[in-house]
Structure 1
C-alpha cells in the first residue's frame, strides 16, 4: 500500500554554496580575517583625520563641532560592529565582543579575532563570508604603509 505521508526516499541535494555579500556598514553578517583587519583600520584613520581637521578648522567654522562629535562617536563604535561580525564568523556569542572594550584584555581578543580561522561553511549565524575582493586587498595595500609609518614614529630620533 502506498502512503503519501512518508518522507521521500531520494537523497536530498546539497544546498548551493551561498556567500555573505554585505557591505562595510552592515550590522549583521560574517566577515573573514582580512576583511576584519582592513575594515577595523579604517575608523582610526578617519578619527586621525577628524582630529587633524578639528584642530585646523575649529576657529574658522565652530558650527561644525557637533558634526565632528557625531563622526568621532561613529569612529569609536564601528570597530565594535566589526568585532561582533567577526565573532559571528567564529561562531562565538556576540557578548564576547564587549571584552574588546576592556584595555588589558582587548589585545588578546584582537589577536584571537585576527588569527583564528572562521567556519568554512554556513553556520547558525549565516552563510560563509564572501571571498576577499580586489577592493579589500587594495585597502590592505594602502593601509599597511600608513600603519608601518605610524609604528615607526615613536622610534625615530628626535633631531
Structure 2
C-alpha cells in the first residue's frame, strides 16, 4: 500500500504509473524554476510524472490553487511542504477596461483563466510588467484567485 501525505490544502501522492501533466498535477521541478533549485518545488502543470515518483494534488478550487508548493525554508533548510503565495499587491494586479484584461505581474509565468463554471477558457504566458489580454467574451472570469468582469 502506498502512503499519502495530506494537509487541508494539498495531498502528496506516490504513483506506480505515469501521470500526465495537468492543472491539478504538481510535479517536482527537474530544472531551476523561478530561482528555486532543482527538487525545491512541486510546480503546477510542469511535466509528466514518471512511475515511482510522487506528485502533489491541490485541494484548492482551480481559481485559487497556487502555481507551486515549495520544499524548504530559509537557506535551503528543509522545513516541509509549504504553499508559496505572495501578497496580492506584490505578485499580481488584474483589472479590465471595457473588454480588455490587463495583468501586471512581478515575474514571467503561465496563468489559467477560468469561466464561472470552472472551465479553463485560456492559458496565457505573461511576462514581468504589463500584459494585455484580448478576445475574451463578455462575462466573469477567475485567475489566480481574482475575479474580473469583461464588458
Greater Rg over alpha carbons, structure: 1
TM-score, normalised to structure 2's length?
A: 0.22
Report the structure, 1 or 2, having the larger helix content. Answer: 1
Report the structure, 1 or 2, having the larger strand content. Answer: 2
Q: Higher relative contact order by CA 8 Å / sep ≥ 6: 1 or 2?
A: 1
TM-score, normalised to structure 1's length?
A: 0.21
